[in-house]
C-alpha cells in the first residue's frame, strides 16, 4: 500500500491524503529507488485524471526494431499517460482485412507467429497472445483506405467486428456475429475509436464514402490535414538556405478547408490532427463559430519549435507536417490560449538512429514525445503564462479521453464534492465505487529535470528535446486504482 500525504487535487486545490491500495505487479514499472509502497510526502504533487494521447505510432506489427507494443506502452506510462490511441500505419495496415486478401503483406509473418491473420485482431488480443499485461490502456484506429493506399475506402463489414458495440455503432452485418467469439472481451478493452489514414490525407476520391461510413459507425474521422508530393521541410528562408525543397503552409490549409466543407455537407465529425499553421487555425475557428462538428489537436513540437530550429537539430526536428515559421509557432500557442485547439497529442513516432542519421532530405519524418510531452508543454504554455496548470490538464487528459469516448476520472467526484472540505480527507482508492475505472496521474508541477533520451523506455531516441531543462513532470501513473509506474522519490 502506498500513502501519499498532503497531495493537491488538480482542479479544486484541496489537500488530501491519497491511498493507493496495491501495485499491479504484472504491469509495474519503477525507476531505481522509486517509492512504490509506504508513506510519502505529496505536498509538491497534484493528483489529476490520467493523461491520454489520441495519436501514437507503436510500429507493431511490422517495424518492431523501432518500437513494440511493450516499449511504446511503457513509454506512455512513464509519461503519465493512462490511455493512448494507436494509429493504423502498421505493416500490414490495420484496415480490417485478413492478410490473405491484402495487397501488401509485409509484416504478416509477425501475425502468423502468434496464430492470427488480421492486424486489428493481433492488436486487440496482444496481451492474450503474448501472455503479458501492458502498463497502459490503449484504443485502436482503422485505416480510411484499404492498405492506406488512398484508392478504395475501408469497409465497415471488415472492421465492425472490432468495434465496441455498446452504443457507438449502428452498423449491423453478419461479420459481427460470425467472429464475435474470436474477439469477445478484447473489443471492450481495446475498441476502434477512429478512422484515419494518418501519414496521408484522405484522398478526394474516397472522402465522401469515408465520411458516410464514419457517420454510420459513430467513429470520428481523424484527418492528417496536409498533402504534398515533394519537399522535406517548411518552405521558407530555412529551406532556401539549406537548398532543400520546401513544403508550403498552404498544403495544410487546403485540406482543412476541403474537409470543413465536407463536414458542412455531411454533418460528419472531423478531427484535425497535428495542426501547425496560422491559416489552418483561423479556418478551424470559423468552422467552430459556425457550429460545425470540427475539433483539432496540435503537438508539443509545434508549440516549442519552428523551422529555424532545424539548423540546430537537423533530422531530429524533421516531421510531417514540418516545423513551420516562428509566426506559425506563435499562432499555435495563441490557438491553445483562445480555445481553438481542443487537445494536445504527441504524434509519438519512433525511428532508428540509423534512419535519422541518413541526412535531412532522406531521414524519415517524426519524433518521439510520450516521455517528455508534459514537461515541454508546461515550459512553453504554463511557465510562459499562456495557460494555467489546470488548462494543461484539460488539454492533455480530459479532452482526449472524451474524443475517444471515455469518461475521465473526476477526483472531486470520488471525494463526493466539487469544493474543498474544512477537514483534510483521505481518498482511499480501495474504497471507491468501481475502483477498476479510476485512472490518475500524479504530477510535480515544480519538479526540475533534464531530458535524457538514453533513459527513455521507448526504443526511439529521435527527439530534439534531449538535454532540455524542464519544470514539471508526471511522477506516478495509476490505472484501475493500481500503481503501474513510479518515479516518486527517485534520485
Active site residues: 347
Three-state secondary structure along the chain? CEEEEEEEECCCCCEEEEEECEECCCCCEECCCCCCCEEEECCCCEEEECEEEEEECCCCCCCCCCCCHHHHHHHHHHCCEEEEEECCCCCCCCCCCEHHHCCCCCCHHHHHHCCCCEHHHHHHCHHHHHCCCCCCEEEEEEECEHHHCCCCECCHHHHHHHCCCCCCCCCCCHHHHHHHHHHCCHHHHCCEEEEECCCCCCCCCCHHHHHHHHHHHCCCEEEECCCCCCCCEECCHHHHHHCCCEECCHHHHHHHHHHHHHHHHHCCCEEEECCCCHHHHHHHHHHHHCCCCEEEEECHHHHHCCHHHHHHHHHHHCCCCCCCCHHHHHHHHHHHHCCCCCEECCCECCCCHHHHCCCCCCCCCCCCCCCCHHHHHHHHHHCCCCCCHHHHHHHHHHHHHHHCCCCCCCHHHHCCCCCCCCCCEEEECCCCCCHHHCCEEEEEEEEEEECCHHHCCCCCCCCCCCCCEEEEEEEEEEECCEEEEECCCCC
Amino acid at each position: 500500500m502506498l500513502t501519499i500525504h498532503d497531495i493537491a487535487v488538480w482542479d479544486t486545490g484541496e489537500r488530501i491524503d491519497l491511498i493507493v491500495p496495491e501495485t499491479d505487479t504484472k504491469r509495474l514499472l519503477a525507476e531505481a529507488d522509486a517509492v512504490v509502497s509506504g508513506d510519502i510526502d505529496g505536498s509538491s504533487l497534484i493528483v489529476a485524471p490520467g493523461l491520454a494521447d489520441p495519436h501514437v505510432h507503436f510500429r507493431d506489427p511490422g517495424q518492431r526494431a523501432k518500437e513494440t507494443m511493450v516499449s511504446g506502452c511503457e513509454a506512455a506510462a512513464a509519461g503519465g499517460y493512462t490511455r493512448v490511441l494507436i494509429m493504423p500505419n502498421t505493416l500490414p495496415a490495420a484496415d480490417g482485412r485478413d492478410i490473405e486478401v491484402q495487397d501488401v503483406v509485409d509484416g504478416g509473418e509477425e501475425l502468423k507467429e502468434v496464430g492470427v491473420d488480421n492486424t486489428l485482431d493481433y492488436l486487440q488480443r496482444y496481451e492474450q497472445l503474448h501472455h503479458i499485461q501492458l502498463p497502459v490502456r490503449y484504443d485502436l484506429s482503422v485505416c480510411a483506405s484499404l492498405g492506406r493506399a488512398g484508392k478504395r475506402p475501408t469497409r465497415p463489414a471488415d472492421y465492425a467486428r472490432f468495434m465496441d458495440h455498446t452504443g457507438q455503432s449502428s452498423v449491423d452485418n453478419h461479420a459481427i456475429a460470425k467472429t464475435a467469439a474470436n474477439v469477445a472481451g478484447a473489443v471492450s478493452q481495446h475498441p476502434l475509436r477512429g478512422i484515419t489514414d494518418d501519414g496521408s490525407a484522405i484522398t478526394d476520391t474516397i472522402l465522401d464514402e469515408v465520411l458516410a461510413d464514419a457517420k454510420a459507425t459513430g467513429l470520428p474521422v481523424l484527418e492528417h490535414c496536409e498533402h504534398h508530393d515533394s519537399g522535406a521541410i517548411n518552405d521558407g528562408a530555412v529551406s532556401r538556405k539549406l537548398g532543400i525543397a520546401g513544403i508550403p503552409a498552404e498544403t495544410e490549409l487546403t485540406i482543412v478547408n476541403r474537409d470543413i466543407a465536407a463536414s458542412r455537407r455531411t454533418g460528419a465529425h472531423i478531427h484535425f490532427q497535428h495542426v501547425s499553421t496560422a491559416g489552418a487555425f483561423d479556418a478551424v475557428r470559423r468552422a467552430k463559430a459556425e457550429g460545425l462538428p470540427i475539433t483539432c489537436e496540435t503537438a508539443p513540437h509545434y508549440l516549442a519549435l519552428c523551422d529555424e530550429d532545424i539548423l540546430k537539430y537537423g533530422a531530429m526536428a524533421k516531421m510531417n507536417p514540418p516545423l513551420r515559421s516562428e509566426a506559425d509557432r506563435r499562432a499555435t500557442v495563441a490557438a491553445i490560449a483562445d480555445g481553438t485547439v481542443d487537445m494536445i497529442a504527441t504524434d509519438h513516432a519512433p525511428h532508428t538512429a540509423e534512419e535519422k542519421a541518413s541526412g535531412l532530405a532522406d531521414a524519415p519524418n517524426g519524433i518521439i514525445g510520450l516521455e517528455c510531452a508534459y514537461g515541454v508543454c508546461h515550459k512553453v504554455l504554463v511557465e510562459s503564462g499562456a495557460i494555467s496548470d489546470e488548462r494543461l490538464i484539460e488539454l492533455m487528459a480530459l479532452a482526449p479521453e472524451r474524443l475517444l469516448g471515455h469518461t475521465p476520472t473526476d477526483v472531486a467526484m470520488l471525494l463526493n464534492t466539487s469544493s474543498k472540505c474544512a477537514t483534510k480527507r483521505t481518498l482511499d482508492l480501495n474504497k471507491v465505487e468501481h475502483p477498476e475505472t479510476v485512472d490518475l496521474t500524479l504530477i510535480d508541477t515544480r519538479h526540475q529535470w533534464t531530458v535524457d533520451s538514453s533513459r527513455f523506455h521507448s526504443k526511439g531516441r529521435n527527439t530534439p528535446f534531449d538535454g532540455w531543462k524542464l519544470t514539471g513532470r508526471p511522477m506516478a501513473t495509476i490505472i484501475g486504482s493500481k500503481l503501474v509506474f513510479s518515479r516518486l522519490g527517485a534520485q
